[in-house]
């Protein structure tokens, strides 16, 4: 005997079969599910086959397929031209920024994308948008930052074009503006400032309040002596490690050395070796001694003796040292 409700009706079976059939029509993407590009060398047409060798995207639907293994997204060329990214359902995700004659290349895991003539960045592994298109000009990421502008123009130089702007700034890989602090407080302007001036600067910009050298300290005068009171003579603020990445993400260590109430030396160690010319660009440093401002006596770059990604080359370094004035210690005083 069958109890009511224990035996499915014919109508329930029909609905279940219909739902099962509909579900089977949806493309499911498994971990081992992917498409592989192929082309006809005679017609020079491109398409994609699945892992079983069956054609998933027929030849000629796209002018060219730049992604060899199509897992979550692929970069292709539209029939009427233009680089685009598509998902597995062939929805257009976004346009791809053109570099030379091809799609933009990944740099530090990100590549440039286009929407409404604005440039953003997408993850090279997943294809997901990381920084939404919002910039008029944007360079690839390098050392954790990208140089961008919302006020630029294109100028032709022979067969190539260059971007010109008076309002470049840097962003990190989350799209947050970095080095804005340096635009407001260029590194060279720190030299010969008092510990209170440096501390107040950090407090105003980052809400970091040093327990001693802060904006509340009025009328600071250093009364130290290199012989009789050298502790006070060399007193100063220690740059907070938590704020170092906010100055620039390429910096690993930033040390300040004070002498008689003034910043005498800035020492910077980078996470990895950089081109000296790149360091000069980041920190807006003069390359000729004749261009040094009055508060600078020397700018030095350490020898490139250790690097994980860059060759040992005199053009590269991991260190930067800026001097505001000559050191006058107890030995120098005793000789006078």
| 173 in the same domain as 147 | yes
Q: CA angle at residue 86 from 85 to 87, to 5 degrees? A: 130
pTM over 0.85: no
Q: What is the pLDDT of residues 191-227, one digit of tens each?
A: 999 999 999 999 998 899 999 999 999 999 999 998 9
Are residue 183 and residue 324 in the same domain, yes or no?
yes
Q: Does residue 188 carry a pLDDT above 60?
A: yes
Q: What angle do CA 61, 66, 67 make, to 5 degrees?
A: 100
Is 25 inside a domain boundary? no
Over residues 77-105, mean pLDDT: 93
Question: Residue for token digits 């602090």?
Answer: 181
Least confident of 6-15, 27-36, 221-230, 312-321: 6-15
- Let me know if residue 127 belongs to a domain: yes
Is 15 inside any structural domain? no
> Is 86 a domain residue?
yes
pLDDT of residue 3: 36
Q: Quick one: CA dihedral 53, 54, 57, 61, positive or negative? A: positive
Euclidean distance between CA atoms 86 and 94, whole angstroms: 8
- Both 51 and 185 in one domain: the answer is no
**Total domain count for the chain?**
2
With 70 as the cut, is the pLDDT of residue 2 above it?
A: no
B/e letters for 162-201, b = 16+ CB within 10 Å, e = fewer, are eeeeeebbbbbbeeeebbebbeebebbebbbbbbbbbbbb
Mean pLDDT (the chain, rounded): 85
pLDDT at 46: 95
- The structure tokens 């009364």 sit at 223
Domain end point (choices 147, 162, 177): 177
Domain boundary among 131, 149, 177: 177
Instruction: Say if residue 202 is in the same domain as residue 216.
Output: yes
Q: What is the spatial distance between Cα 175 and Cα 273, in angstroms, rounded to a whole number?
A: 24
Lowest mean pLDDT among 28-37, 150-159, 198-207, 210-219: 28-37
pLDDT at 261: 96
Q: For CA atoms 291, 293, 294, 297, give the dihedral sign.
A: negative
| DSSP type of residue 315 | T
Is 19 among the domain residues?
A: no
Of the pLDDT bands very low, low, confident and very high (cuts 50, 70, 90), residue 7 is: very low
For residue 310, the model assigns a pLDDT of 55
Return d(Cα 224, Cα 259) in angstroms, integer. 9
207 and 294 in one domain?
A: yes
101 in any annotated domain? yes
User: Is the confidence at residue 106, as pLDDT, over 70?
Assistant: yes
Last residue of a domain, one of 127, 152, 177: 177
Shared-domain flag, residues 183 and 300: yes
pLDDT tens for each residue of 282-305:
888 998 999 999 999 999 998 765
pLDDT for 241 beyond 60: yes
- Shared-domain flag, residues 48 and 173: yes
Q: Are residues 281 and 218 in the same domain?
A: yes
- Same domain, yes or no, for 195 and 119? no
Q: Which domain holds residue 220?
A: 179-334
Do 268 and 239 touch, CB atoms closer than 8 A? no
DSSP tally for the chain: helices H, then strands E: 7, 23
On whether residue 21 sits in a domain, the answer given is no
| Angstrom distances, CA of residue 130 to CA of 54, 91, 122, 171, 187 | 33, 18, 5, 12, 30
Together in a domain, 42 and 171? yes
Decide if pLDDT at 315 tops 90.
Answer: no
Give the pLDDT band of residue 308 (cuts 50, 70, 90): low
What is the predicted pLDDT for the residue at 272? 87
- Asked whether residue 6 is domain-assigned, the answer is no
Q: What is the mean pLDDT of residues 307-329?
A: 80
**Measuring CA to CA, which residue among 190, 195, 189, 143 is closest to residue 170?**
143
Mean pLDDT of 31-47: 88
d(Cα 281, Cα 270) in Å, to the nearest integer?
15
Shortest CA distance to 256 belongs to which of 205, 308, 220, 210? Answer: 210
Q: What percent of the chain has pLDDT over 70?
A: 85
Residue 15 has pLDDT above 50, yes or no: no
**pLDDT, tens only, 130-146:** 999 999 999 999 877 89
Q: How confident is the model at residue 278 (pLDDT cuts 50, 70, 90)?
A: confident
b or e along 30-52 (b: 16 or more beta carbons within 10 Å of the residue's beta carbon)? eeeebbbbbeeeeeebbbbeeee
Same domain, 113 and 227: no
Q: Which residue has the higher pLDDT, 87 or 315?
A: 87
**Are 91 and 217 in a shared domain?**
no
What is the pLDDT, as a whole number, of residue 281?
83
């Amino acid at each position: 005997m069958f109890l009511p409700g224990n035996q499915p009706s014919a109508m329930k079976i029909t609905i279940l079969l219909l739902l099962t059939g509909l579900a089977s029509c949806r493309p499911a993407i498994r971990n081992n599910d992917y498409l592989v590009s192929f082309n006809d060398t005679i017609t020079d047409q491109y398409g994609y086959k699945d892992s079983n060798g069956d054609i998933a995207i027929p030849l000629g639907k796209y002018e060219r397929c730049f992604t060899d293994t199509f897992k979550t997204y692929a970069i292709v060329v539209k029939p009427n031209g233009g680089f685009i990214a598509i998902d597995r359902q062939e929805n257009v995700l976004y346009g791809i920024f053109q570099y030379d004659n091809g799609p933009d290349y990944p740099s530090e895991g990100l590549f440039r994308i286009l929407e409404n003539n604005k440039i953003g960045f997408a993850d090279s592994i997943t294809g997901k948008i990381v920084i939404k298109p919002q910039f008029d000009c944007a360079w690839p990421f390098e050392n954790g930052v990208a140089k961008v502008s919302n006020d630029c123009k294109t100028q032709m130089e022979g067969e190539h074009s260059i971007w010109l702007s008076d309002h470049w700034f840097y962003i990190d890989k989350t799209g947050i503006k970095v080095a804005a602090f340096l635009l407001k407080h260029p590194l060279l302007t720190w030299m010969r400032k008092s510990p209170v001036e440096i501390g107040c600067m950090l407090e105003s910009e980052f809400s970091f309040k040093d327990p001693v050298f802060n904006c509340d300290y009025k009328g600071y005068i250093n009364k130290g002596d290199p012989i009789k009171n050298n502790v006070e003579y060399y007193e100063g603020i220690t740059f907070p490690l938590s704020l170092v990445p906010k100055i620039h993400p390429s910096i690993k260590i930033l040390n300040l050395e004070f002498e008689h109430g003034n910043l005498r030396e800035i020492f910077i160690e980078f996470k990895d070796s950089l081109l000296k010319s790149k360091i000069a660009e980041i920190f807006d440093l003069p390359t000729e001694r004749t261009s040094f401002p009055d508060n600078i006596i020397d700018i030095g770059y350490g020898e490139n003796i250790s690097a994980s990604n860059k060759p040992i080359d005199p053009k590269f370094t991991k260190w930067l040292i800026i001097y505001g004035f000559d050191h006058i210690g107890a030995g120098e005083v005793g000789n006078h």
